[in-house]
Amino acid sequence: MQMGSPSKGIYILQGEITLVVTVMRRSSRWSAHSQRDEDGDPLLSSFAQLKDVLNILIS
C-alpha cells in the first residue's frame, strides 16, 4: 500500500482547522465575542499557531 505525500496530509489538516475555526466563530457561543476577544482566545490562538507550523513544514 502506497502512502500519499506528507504535504497532502498537511493540506487536509489545514482545511480541517479552517473549518473548525469557522464553525467556532459562527456558533452562538463565539458570535458574542468581539474580534479583539477572538485574537486573545487561547484556543483560536493555538489553531493559528498550528497553521503557522504546518505552513513552515510544507514550504
Per-residue pLDDT, 1:
44
- As a whole number of angstroms, the distance between CA 29 and CA 52 comes to 25
pTM across the whole model: 0.69
- As a whole number of angstroms, the distance between CA 50 and CA 20 comes to 13
Q: Where are the domains of the chain?
A: 7-58
Question: What string of pLDDT tens digits covers the 59 residues of the chain?
Answer: 455 677 789 999 999 999 998 888 887 666 665 555 556 788 888 999 999 999 998 88
- As a whole number of angstroms, the distance between CA 19 and CA 11 comes to 12
